[in-house]
């Protein structure tokens, strides 16, 4: 059999290597590798979903987003972010934002076009454009610049040929937020070079220490240059239900709708009802989820500091981005040893792009008891004392 060359890039990636490591290991492990949230949806969301599942008429092809859903998203954006959205032209549902991220480039770039992506980044930011045949240009997110992309570093000739750029703060994996000045520069940059911006706002609700975070679309001119992706996976514990949205520039939204109308038949109607309940219902569940992640973050960071691994405290997201201790030749080597000796699985930074080397990402997807157990195991394994022994 002969297969497509584009599949070569999906070979034995770091995530499959981690899965294999997990399979081989017997006994208890603490898995902090994949960002799969474990906080369930609030009861009113479950009720809306389950009631809608009992209605036989809800099993038809959805084809279009329900008017009620589009209006609910528009209301949510106004209430939560102070951003007005036209329900008919500026909102498109996604079967999870991952689905939209993997497809949208097909509606924007042709083979060989340049797409700017952050480095390190959430992998589909690069994989989606690659599937569309794009040339990637990596925009480093360096520690020295607080992990914020420095737009001034992008060479003029690259900016001139770029068609799309993907950015995302609060950021996975580096867990930082971007200042307003970054977004202002971003809009000006995109206008100057006529580049479509995709801002992924998956973690706007997981912002800690009393801070808050808005929407890219509240910046003047943002809607002229791009769109924002949002997801109900982490905010409302709906990861498995697959609910996301692309909102903003009506031309970009319209092209994506056309593309998707050829690919899927829309979001299962009961899931649309759950999404409506989530974004229009009582929002105290969002504060509870945020508080739970903040507690886990504090427990992990304080715990690791107490055993000699000082890690910058993340401002946001459900991740901790940690420079690996001295004495390891790569982040993967550290991950292997940590898993082997402590049974704690984390993701090597190299899985997120070349600039991720030297780091690991820990996902706060286990409860406090498991996080405390992970710290204890790391301490007892002696992995952190490796350098001292050498
Ligand atoms: C930055 C970012 N965007 C998008 C997603 C995918 O979210 P969804 O569940 O909506 O597909 C994730 C999932 O971890 C993520 O970290």
Whole-prediction pTM: 0.96
Within 10 Å of residue 383's Cβ, how many Cβ atoms?
22
Secondary structure of residue 115 in the 3-state scheme:
strand
Longest pairwise C-alpha distance within the chain = 68
Reported as type and span, the H/E element at residue 248 is strand 244-248
Ligand 1 atom at shortest distance from the alpha carbon of 231: 10
pLDDT value for 387: 59
Q: Per-residue confidence at 11, pLDDT binned at 50, 70, 90?
A: low
b/e sequence 271-290, b meaning 16+ C-beta within 10 Å:
bbbbbbbbbbbebebbeebb
**DSSP summary character for residue 7:** G
Distance 21 CA to ligand 1 centre (A): 24
CA contacts within 13 A on the Cβ side of 92: 28
Q: Is residue 9 over pLDDT 80? A: no
Is 213 within 8 Å of 180 (Cβ atoms)? no
Distance 317 CA to ligand 1 centre (A): 11
Q: Which CATH class is domain 13-32+285-381?
A: alpha beta
Tens digits of per-residue pLDDT, 269-294? 999 999 999 999 999 999 999 999 99
**Residue whose CA is at the smallest distance from ligand 1 atom 3:** 202
Residues with CB under 6 A from ligand 1: 35, 96-98, 122, 168, 172, 200, 202, 231, 233, 239, 244
**Residue whose CA is at the smallest distance from ligand 1 atom 6:** 98
Which of 172, 176, 279, 362 is the best mutation target for the ligand 1 pocket, counting ligand atoms within 8 Å of the beta carbon and taking the most? 172
**223: burial class by Cβ within 10 Å (0-12, 13-18, 19+)?**
buried
Instruction: Please report which residue ranges of the chain form alpha helices under DSSP H.
Output: 14-24, 43-53, 67-76, 97-103, 124-131, 156-161, 180-193, 222-225, 250-261, 269-280, 284-306, 331-342, 368-381, 386-389
- 384-390 long-range contacts, CB within 8 A, separation 24+: 384/307, 384/308, 384/309, 384/325, 385/308, 386/325, 386/327, 386/328, 386/337, 387/325, 387/326, 387/327, 390/327
Q: Per-residue confidence at 10, pLDDT binned at 50, 70, 90?
A: confident
Q: Is residue 124 over pLDDT 80? A: yes
- The pair phi, psi for residue 49, each rounded to 5°, is -65, -45
Tens digits of per-residue pLDDT, 92-111? 999 999 999 999 999 999 99
Tens digits of per-residue pLDDT, 144-200? 999 999 999 999 999 999 999 999 999 999 999 999 999 999 999 999 999 999 999
Strand arrangement, sheet containing 359-363: 319-323, 359-363, 347-348
34 closest CA partner among 48, 46, 17: 17
CATH of domain 43-280: 3.40.640.10
From CA 54, how far away is CA 16, in angstroms rounded?
A: 38
pLDDT value for 390: 52
**Range 20-43 average pLDDT:** 89
CA contacts within 13 A on the Cβ side of 212: 6
Distance 386 CA to ligand 1 centre (A): 35
CA 285, 87, 190, 315: dihedral to nearest 10 degrees? 0
Ligand 1 atom at shortest distance from the alpha carbon of 244: 10
Number of helices (H) and strands (E) in the chain: give both, helices first.
14, 12
**Residue whose CA is at the smallest distance from ligand 1 atom 14:** 35
The partner residues of 360 in beta bridges, in order of sequence, read: 322, 348
Secondary structure of residue 168 in the 3-state scheme:
coil
Which of 216, 231, 246, 278 is the best mutation target for the ligand 1 pocket, counting ligand atoms within 8 Å of the beta carbon and taking the most? 231
Q: Is residue 36 over pLDDT 80? A: yes
**Range 318-341 average pLDDT:** 95
From CA 357, how far away is CA 344, in angstroms rounded?
A: 19
**Helix-, strand-, coil-residue percentages of the chain, each rounded to 5:** 50, 15, 35
- Both tokens of 32, joined, read 């902090």
Hey, where are the domains in the chain?
A: 13-32+285-381, 43-280
Secondary structure of residue 207 in the 3-state scheme:
strand
Tens digits of per-residue pLDDT, 190-216? 999 999 999 999 999 999 999 999 999
**69: burial class by Cβ within 10 Å (0-12, 13-18, 19+)?**
buried
């Amino acid at each position: 059999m002969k297969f497509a060359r584009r599949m070569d890039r999906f070979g034995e990636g770091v995530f499959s290597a981690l899965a294999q490591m997990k399979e081989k290991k017997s006994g208890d492990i603490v898995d902090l590798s994949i960002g799969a949230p474990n906080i369930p949806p609030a009861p009113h969301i479950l009720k809306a979903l389950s009631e809608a599942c009992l209605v036989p008429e809800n099993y038809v092809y959805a084809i279009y987003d329900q008017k009620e859903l589009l209006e609910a998203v528009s209301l949510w954006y106004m209430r939560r972010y102070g951003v007005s959205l036209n329900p008919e032209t500026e909102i498109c549902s996604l079967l999870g934002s991952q689905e939209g991220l993997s497809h949208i480039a097909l509606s924007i770039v042709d083979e060989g076009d340049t797409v700017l992506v952050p480095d390190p980044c959430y992998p589909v930011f690069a994989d989606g454009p690659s599937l569309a045949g794009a040339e990637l240009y990596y925009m480093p997110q360096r520690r020295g610049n607080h992990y914020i992309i420095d737009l001034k570093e992008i060479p003029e000739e690259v900016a001139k040929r770029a068609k799309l750029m993907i950015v995302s703060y609060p950021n996975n994996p580096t867990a930082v937020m971007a200042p307003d000045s970054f977004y202002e520069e971003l809009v000006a940059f995109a206008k100057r070079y006529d580049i479509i911006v995709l801002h992924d706002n998956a973690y706007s609700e997981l912002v800690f220490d009393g801070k808050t975070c808005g929407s890219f679309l509240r910046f003047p001119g943002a809607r002229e240059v791009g769109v924002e992706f949002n997801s109900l996976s982490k905010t409302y514990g709906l990861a498995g239900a697959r609910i996301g949205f692309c909102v903003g520039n009506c031309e970009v939204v319209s092209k994506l709708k056309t593309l998707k109308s050829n690919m899927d038949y829309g979001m299962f109607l009961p899931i649309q009802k759950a999404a409506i309940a989530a974004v229009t219902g009582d929002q105290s569940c969002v504060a509870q989820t945020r508080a739970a992640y903040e507690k886990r973050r504090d427990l992990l960071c304080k715990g690791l500091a107490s055993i000699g691994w000082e890690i910058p405290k993340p401002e946001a997201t459900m991740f901790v981005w940690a420079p690996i201790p001295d004495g390891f030749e790569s982040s993967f080597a550290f991950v292997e040893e940590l898993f082997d000796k402590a049974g704690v699985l984390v993701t090597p930074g190299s899985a997120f792009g070349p600039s991720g080397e030297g780091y690991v990402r820990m996902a706060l997807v286990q409860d406090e008891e498991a996080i405390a157990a992970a710290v204890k195991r790391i301490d007892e394994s002696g992995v952190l004392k490796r350098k001292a022994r050498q």
